[in-house]
Structure 1
Amino acid sequence: MRARRVVVLMGGLSAERAVSLSSGGQVLGALREAGFEATAIDAGPDLAVLLEQLRAARPDVVFNALHGRFGEDGAIQGVLDWMGIPYTHCGVRASAVAMDKQAARAVFASQGLPVARGGLVDVSSLAERDPLALPYVIKPVNEGSSVGVEIIREGSNHRAAVAAAWRFGPQALVEEFIPGRELTVGVMGERALTVTDITPDPRLGQGFYDYEAKYADGGSSHALPAQIHRAAFEQALEIALSAHRALGCRGATRTDFRYDDTRSESEPGRLVILEVNTQPGLTPTSLLPEQAAFCGINFPSLCAWMVENAACRA
C-alpha cells in the first residue's frame, strides 16, 4: 500500500542546519503537490521530544531532509530503525561510512576507485609544518557542504591560522589539490543521471565550490551535460554508480569529483572522487533536482520516488 502520511525531518543540530531547513521546506511543498499528507518536524536537541513528536505523527514514512552530523551520519537512521519507521535515503552503515571521509576513502580505494593522495593528520601538527607538498586541501573528516574546507596554496601563510581556528576535532583530512574542474553525478537507485560541470563565481568565497558558492543565489553556474571528453563523461557515470554500490547506498546519492583536464583537451583527464553525499541537497540551487529535471523527472516526482523507495532496516 502506498505511503500517505509523510513526516519531513529538517533542521537538526549540525553546521548545515540552514541548508536542511531550505531542503525540507522545498520537499514539504513538493510532497503535498504529489498528493501526500506531509508535515514537518524540526529535529531539536532533545531526543525524547523528537521521539514523542514522531510517535504522535504516526508517519508511514519519514523523509530525511537533515544534513550533516546526527542527520547524515547514521545517528537518526539508527533511531528510525529502532522505531520501525521506514525512511528515505541510506541506512546506518552506508550513512556512517560515507560521512567519515577517511573511512569512505578506504572503501573506494579497496574497490579500485580513484582517490586523491592524502590522509589524516593531527591538527596540532599543522601549525608546525605542511603535511603535503603545496598546494593541498584541509577538510573536516565528518562535515558536509564544504564546511571548514581550506586550500593551502603556494605562497600562502595561513596554515597556522587554520590550525589555530580549527573547530572540527583533533584531526583533519589533508589531500593533494587536484587542478581542473568540479564535476558531480547524481544516482537514483541503479541509475546514474548525468554529469554536471560546476563553475563557482570567482567573486565569492575562496574560488572553489565552497558553502557560499553552493547556496548563494548565483554562487555558481552549472553546465549539464558537462562538455568534457566523452570517455571521461562515461567514466564519471560508472564511478559514481560503483561508489554508490561500494558504500551500500540506496535511494538517491550524489558523487562529487575533481577532474584534471589541464594537460590535454584531446585526451580524457584524471577523475578523483571527493565524496559521496548520501543526503544530497534539495534546495533551489541544488544539483540533484537539476539533474533529475534534465532527465525528465520533476521535483515532486523525485521526492515521491524517494518516499516510495523508503525502507526500514531493523
Structure 2
Amino acid sequence: MDKQLLIAVLMGGPGSEREVSLASGKAVLEALQGEGLNAVGVDVTTREINLPEGTGLCFNVIHGTFGEDGDMQQILEDMGVPYTGAGIESSRLAFDKVASKAVFVDNNVPTPVSEIVDCSAGAKLPEMPLPYVVKPPREGSSVGVHIVQTEEEAMSAMEDAAKYGDEVLVEQFVQGKELTVGVLADEVLPVIHIAPRSGFYDMNNKYPWLNNDGGTDYYCPADLSEDITKKVQDAALAAHRALGCEIYSRVDVLLDFDGNPYVLEANTIPGMTASSLLPKAAKAAGYEFGPLCQKIAELSLAERS
C-alpha cells in the first residue's frame, strides 16, 4: 500500500454511539500509523464532513446512525472519495433490521420469527406471544432493546422502542448462547461466544467503561463442536452475502439449546478497538490489529478505485 496515501480516519459522529466511535477511531488511527501509513483523525460532529486536502481514503469507524446507515457513504461517493467497508445499499439494508430481516427470510438465512408493530399512533402491544425481544429497527449497540418476559414489562418496552421511530421490531425470544462471527473478504473468522455477566448484551455489558457498570466474558474460539461451528459460520456468511456486504462485517447469531443458529443482524461498522470483537476474532485467525486495519484499507481501496 502506498505509504504516502492520506487516510482520514472518520470517528465520532452525531449519533448515540459517538463515544464508542471515538474509541474505535483512536485505536484505528494509532494502528495505521503504527504500520507506517499516513493517517490522520477527523472528528465528525455534524452531518457535514470536512476532509483534509488530498485525502485518498476515508477509514470509516462511525458506528450507528449516519456512519453505518448509508448516509455517509452517499456523501463520500458524491465527493468521489473512496471509503472503507460496506457501500450505500448494503449499509442501508444491514442497518435497517426490518429490511435485513426480509432479506434473510427471502434468502433462507435462519432468523427468529418476527412481527413489525406500527406505533405511529402510539405504542401498542404485538400479537406475538411472550416472551419476545423488542427493538427499534434502526439503532445500533442494543439501543432501545428489551427482552420482555411478562405483560407488565411489555408496554414500557414498546413505548421506549417507539421513541426511536414509528416502527418497532418484535422478535421471538431465542434462549441460548450469544455468538458473533466476523467476515473479512468472504473469509469467515472464528466464532466468539459472548457471555454477559448479568442480563443480556446491552450497552452496559458491551461498554462497561462508559458507565462503570456491567461486564462480559468472551470466548474465542467458542467452545462448540466442529459441526455446530460450521453451521454458525455458514449462517453468518449467508447473511453477509445476502445483504451484499463489501469488505467486512460482524454477524450476531443466537444458538439455541438444540444447536440451531438464528441470525439477528450484520454490523457493517463493528467496534474497532484492539479488544473489540472483530479484532479478537481476527487475531485468533492470525491477523494482528495493525495488519487487520491495513488489510481493510487495502481491500476497500481496491474495491473503490
| AA at the equivalent of 2:56 | D
Inter-partner Cα distance in structure 2 for 1:161 and 1:240: 32
Report SS of the residue matched to 2:272.
coil
Inter-partner Cα distance in structure 1 for 2:176 and 2:112: 14
User: 2:179·2:192 contact (CA, 8 Å) conserved in 1?
Assistant: yes
Correspondence 1:294 to 2:295: no
User: 1:102·1:173 contact (CA, 8 Å) conserved in 2?
Assistant: yes
Report SS of the residue matched to 1:35.
coil
The answer for the alignment partner of 1:251 in structure 2 is 247
The answer for the alignment partner of 1:109 in structure 2 is 105
Inter-partner Cα distance in structure 1 for 2:77 and 2:159: 39
Quote how far apart the aligned CAs of 1:46 are.
5.0
Quote how far apart the aligned CAs of 1:32 are.
0.4
Inter-partner Cα distance in structure 1 for 2:278 and 2:195: 16
Query: RMSD of the TM alignment (CA)?
Result: 1.8
The TM-score with structure 2 as length reference comes to 0.92
Q: Structure 1 residues 104, 128: CA separation in 2 closer, same or farther (over 3 Å shift)?
A: closer
| AA at the equivalent of 2:159 | A
Quote how far apart the aligned CAs of 1:126 are.
8.0
Quote how far apart the aligned CAs of 1:219 are.
1.3
The answer for the alignment partner of 1:2 in structure 2 is 2
Inter-partner Cα distance in structure 1 for 2:222 and 2:78: 42
Kindly report which structure 2 residues correspond to 1:172-191, keeping only aligned pairs within 5 A, or say none.
172-191=168-187
The answer for the alignment partner of 1:266 in structure 2 is none
The answer for the alignment partner of 2:38 in structure 1 is 37
Correspondence 1:159 to 2:190: no
Structure 2: runs of 5+ lacking an equivalent: none
CA distances 1:34-75 after superposition (whole Å, capped 9, x unpaired): 11111111112252xx2xx21x43211100011111110111
How many residues in Structure 1 have an aligned counterpart in Structure 2? 298
CA distances 1:163-192 after superposition (whole Å, capped 9, x unpaired): 334421111100000001101110100100
Quote how far apart the aligned CAs of 1:14 are.
1.1
User: 1:102·1:119 contact (CA, 8 Å) conserved in 2?
Assistant: no
Quote how far apart the aligned CAs of 1:313 are.
5.2
Q: Structure 1 residues 231, 43: CA separation in 2 closer, same or farther (over 3 Å shift)?
A: same
1:143 counterpart (125, 130, 139) = 139
The answer for the alignment partner of 1:26 in structure 2 is 27
Report SS of the residue matched to 1:309.
helix
Quote how far apart the aligned CAs of 1:233 are.
0.6
User: 1:256·1:273 contact (CA, 8 Å) conserved in 2?
Assistant: yes
Inter-partner Cα distance in structure 1 for 2:59 and 2:75: 14
The answer for the alignment partner of 2:204 in structure 1 is 212
User: 1:81·1:313 contact (CA, 8 Å) conserved in 2?
Assistant: no
User: 1:8·1:63 contact (CA, 8 Å) conserved in 2?
Assistant: yes
User: 2:125·2:158 contact (CA, 8 Å) conserved in 1?
Assistant: no
CA distances 1:132-183 after superposition (whole Å, capped 9, x unpaired): 1111000011111111100110x35122223334421111100000001101
Inter-partner Cα distance in structure 2 for 1:246 and 1:2: 33
CA distances 1:267-307 after superposition (whole Å, capped 9, x unpaired): xx111001001111113541000011111111000100011
Kindly report which structure 2 residues correspond to 1:239-278, keeping only aligned pairs within 5 A, or say none.
239-261=235-257, 263=258, 269-278=259-268
